[in-house]
């Protein structure tokens, strides 16, 4: 059929459905058919809205006017204070811009620059597609499962040398999605020095900063390299407010930061104008100093930590290589040790593996390919955020259980039937593969 339009060739070239959407749509469809699915495919924090934020939103529902493109001044001031005091990054309101989620701000940064994008392997799903839609070149820094996907300075340097574009943007994400690991401060300092020497801008996606599990401090590259770092944050993860769509970017102070802000404001002004007014007014309460909200954020982070560390310790028990998570609610296990046994079942890529686990064990995951990992490396992303928190009632129940009795073992034993069954199924899956290996060997 002839269309009364033609898609832009760049968009047309990237229209194949992403594995992320495929798995999510498949789970929704299976649930609608009444089938059981153990959903580890969804990375969405699901704790209840804090009552103070609920009240703040209700009180501002009549705010109907457009707000300044850069954001509500009172909100930008609260955000600047938050970054100055809590994140130890001296920040003024002039450096802050808000948008409907950090995702459009990441887009605006890439659009504002004429830069090649340098990404660690693995990296969050949207950075590379955004770059490709903007016709920017993407370079992945090589890393592999055997080394726990360590990001090395050598590999960064090799990658930087491949790019002939004098303008480069390195996107870092710590704690990270898909694996929950964090960059160590000393390593971060080295990366920052390197970027300063080579005039590379860092985009630091710190959306999970307040979900750190507590065994490693969160440190921003802006601490070492303030003049060359753009920090991203928002309410989606630590306050479980993804659907509120409130994201933040903190640009460098000084002349180059001002120029970048001018560019990003033009993009914001021509695309989204400003985030929803009631949400911005309510967000002031989320960023203002408030011991109750700080405490709530810490509690939610702790429950994520308990649940994610629990699943991680079982994967390790089953002998599955998996970097230890230090924040957020993700795990990135690798199944390469069972490559042959899996090949015998027709599983050759991480996409095949995700489909196999869904069809045979009813476990939904995302394949490593969605995060820039080569297809033949059998890595998967598991998200614990949805497990035993499938409904609002279950999420509220779990939080209440922890608040009444903050005992990690009891929380996992008494309130996690879905997690227990998921673990049992992972065990059965690995047992089946070992049997296959024993069968072949014997
Ligand atoms: N960055 C990472 C690493 C994420 O995992 C997500 C959401 O899944 C985002 C950014 C986007 O968050 P927002 O809701 O602020 O757009």
DSSP annotation of 217: -
Question: Ligand 1, closest atom to CA 106?
Answer: 10
* Nearest residue to 378 via CA among 334, 347, 316, 341: 334
Measured from the Cβ of residue 130, the count of other Cβ atoms closer than 10 Å reads 21
Distance from Cα 387 to the centre of ligand 1, integer Å? 19
Q: What is the pTM of this model?
A: 0.96
Q: 88 near 223, Cβ under 8 Å?
A: yes
Distance from Cα 102 to the centre of ligand 1, integer Å? 6
Judged against a pLDDT cut of 80, whether residue 271 lies above it is answered with yes
Stretch (H or E) spanning 434? helix 417-441
Mutating to test ligand 1, I would choose from 18, 129, 207 the residue with most ligand atoms within 8 A of its C-beta, which is: 207
DSSP annotation of 238: T
pLDDT tens-place string over residues 54-110: 999 999 999 999 999 999 999 999 999 999 999 999 999 999 999 999 999 999 999
Residues 6+ apart with CB under 8 A from 204: 171, 172, 173, 174, 220, 221, 222, 229, 230, 231, 232
pLDDT tens-place string over residues 232-264: 999 999 999 999 999 999 999 999 999 999 999
Ligand 1, pocket residues at CB < 6 Å: 43, 101-103, 124, 173, 177, 205, 207, 234, 236, 242, 247
* Nearest residue to 256 via CA among 196, 173, 340: 196
Number of helices and strands in the chain (H, E): 16, 12
- pLDDT, residue 395, reads 96
Distance from Cα 345 to the centre of ligand 1, integer Å? 35
Window from 239-253, 320-334, 402-416, 427-441 with minimum mean pLDDT: 427-441
- pLDDT, residue 20, reads 67
Question: Ligand 1, closest atom to CA 177?
Answer: 3
- Beta-bridge partner residues of 229: 202
Residue-wise DSSP of 132-148: HHTT--EEEEP--GGGT
- pLDDT, residue 438, reads 56
Mutating to test ligand 1, I would choose from 20, 97, 102 the residue with most ligand atoms within 8 A of its C-beta, which is: 102
Mean pLDDT of 224-239: 98
Mutating to test ligand 1, I would choose from 97, 103, 208 the residue with most ligand atoms within 8 A of its C-beta, which is: 103
Residue-wise DSSP of 248-295: EEEPPSSHHHHHHHHHHHHHHHHHT-SS-HHHHHHHHHHHS--HHHHH
For 121, how many CA atoms within 13 A lie in the half-sphere containing its CB? 24
Mean pLDDT of the chain: 95
CATH number (3.40.50.300, 3.40.190.10, 3.90.1150.10, 3.40.640.10) of 51-288 reads: 3.40.640.10
Judged against a pLDDT cut of 70, whether residue 428 lies above it is answered with yes
Question: Ligand 1, closest atom to CA 104?
Answer: 16
- pLDDT, residue 436, reads 59
Q: How far apart are CA 253 and CA 92, in angstroms?
A: 8
Helix (H, G, I), strand (E, B) or coil at 130: helix
pLDDT tens-place string over residues 398-421: 999 999 999 999 999 999 999 999
Per CATH, the architecture of 9-47+292-441 is what?
Answer: Alpha-Beta Complex (3.90)
Considering the chain, what percentage of its residues have pLDDT values greater than 90?
Answer: 89
Confidence of residue 15 (pLDDT cuts 50, 70, 90): confident
Which has more pLDDT, 11 or 441? 11
- Beta-bridge partner residues of 382: 331
Mutating to test ligand 1, I would choose from 171, 177, 233 the residue with most ligand atoms within 8 A of its C-beta, which is: 177
DSSP annotation of 48: P
Q: 353 near 378, Cβ under 8 Å?
A: yes
Angle between helices 392-404 and 408-415 (to 10 degrees): 140
CA dist 209 → 106, 228, 232, 326, 381 (Å): 17, 19, 10, 11, 19
Mutating to test ligand 1, I would choose from 79, 234, 236 the residue with most ligand atoms within 8 A of its C-beta, which is: 236
- pLDDT, residue 17, reads 67
- pLDDT, residue 248, reads 98
- pLDDT, residue 277, reads 98
Distance from Cα 232 to the centre of ligand 1, integer Å? 9
- pLDDT, residue 437, reads 58
Q: How far apart are CA 237 and CA 242, in angstroms?
A: 7
Window from 36-45, 141-150, 356-365, 429-438 with minimum mean pLDDT: 429-438
- pLDDT, residue 441, reads 44
Q: Whose CA is nearest to atom 5 of ligand 1?
A: 177
Say whether 51-288 and 9-47+292-441 share the same fold.
no
CA dist 261 → 87, 299, 368 (Å): 21, 35, 34
Q: Whose CA is nearest to atom 11 of ligand 1?
A: 103
Judged against a pLDDT cut of 80, whether residue 323 lies above it is answered with yes
Mean pLDDT of 146-153: 92
Confidence of residue 442 (pLDDT cuts 50, 70, 90): very low
Distance from Cα 339 to the centre of ligand 1, integer Å? 32
- Parse the chain into domains and list their residue ranges: 9-47+292-441, 51-288
Stretch (H or E) spanning 203? strand 201-205
- pLDDT, residue 70, reads 98
Residues 6+ apart with CB under 8 A from 295: none
Distance from Cα 2 to the centre of ligand 1, integer Å? 37
Which has more pLDDT, 276 or 390? 276
Distance from Cα 338 to the centre of ligand 1, integer Å? 32
Residues 6+ apart with CB under 8 A from 70: 76, 96, 97, 98, 261, 265, 268
């Amino acid at each position: 059929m002839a269309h009364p339009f033609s898609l832009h060739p760049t968009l047309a070239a990237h229209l194949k459905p992403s594995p992320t959407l495929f798995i999510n749509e498949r789970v929704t469809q299976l649930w609608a058919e009444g089938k059981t699915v153990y959903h580890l495919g969804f990375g969405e924090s699901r704790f209840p809205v804090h009552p103070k934020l609920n009240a703040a939103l209700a009180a501002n529902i009549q705010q109907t006017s457009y707000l300044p493109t850069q954001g509500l001044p009172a909100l930008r001031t609260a955000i600047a204070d938050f970054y100055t005091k809590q994140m130890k990054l001296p920040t003024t309101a002039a450096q802050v811009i808000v948008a409907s989620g950090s995702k459009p701000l990441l887009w605006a940064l890439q659009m504002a620059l004429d830069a090649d994008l340098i990404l660690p392997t693995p990296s969050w799903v949207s950075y590379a597609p955004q770059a490709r839609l903007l016709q920017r070149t993407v370079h992945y820094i090589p890393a592999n499962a055997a080394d726990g996907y360590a990001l090395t300075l050598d590999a960064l340097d090799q990658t930087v040398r491949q790019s002939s574009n004098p303008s480069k943007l390195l996107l870092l994400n710590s704690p990270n999605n898909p694996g929950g690991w964090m960059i160590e401060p000393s390593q971060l300092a080295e990366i920052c020095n390197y970027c300063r020497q080579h005039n590379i801008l860092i985009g630091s996606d710190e959306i999970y900063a307040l979900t750190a599990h507590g065994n490693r401090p969160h440190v921003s590259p802006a601490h070492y390299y303030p003049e060359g770092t753009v920090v991203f944050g928002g309410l989606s993860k630590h306050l479980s407010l993804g659907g509120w769509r409130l994201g933040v970017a903190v640009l460098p102070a000084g002349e180059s930061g001002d120029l970048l802000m001018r560019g990003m404001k033009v993009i914001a002004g021509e695309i989204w104008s400003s985030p929803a007014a009631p949400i911005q007014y309510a967000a002031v309460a989320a960023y203002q100093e408030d011991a109750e909200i700080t405490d709530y954020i810490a509690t939610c982070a702790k429950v994520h930590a308990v649940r994610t560390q629990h699943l991680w310790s079982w994967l390790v028990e089953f002998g599955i290589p998996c970097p230890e998570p230090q924040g957020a609610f993700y795990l990135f296990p690798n199944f390469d040790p069972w490559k042959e046994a899996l090949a015998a079942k027709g599983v050759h890529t991480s996409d095949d593996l995700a489909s196999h686990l869904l069809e045979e064990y009813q476990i939904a995951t995302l394949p490593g390919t969605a995060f820039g990992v080569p297809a033949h490396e059998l890595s998967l992303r598991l998200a614990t955020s949805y497990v035993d928190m499938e409904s609002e009632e279950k999420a509220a129940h779990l939080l209440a259980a922890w608040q009444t009795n903050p005992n990690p073992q009891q929380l996992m034993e008494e309130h996690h039937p879905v997690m227990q069954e998921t673990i049992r199924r992972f065990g059965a899956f690995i047992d089946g593969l070992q049997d296959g290996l024993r069968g072949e060997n014997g």
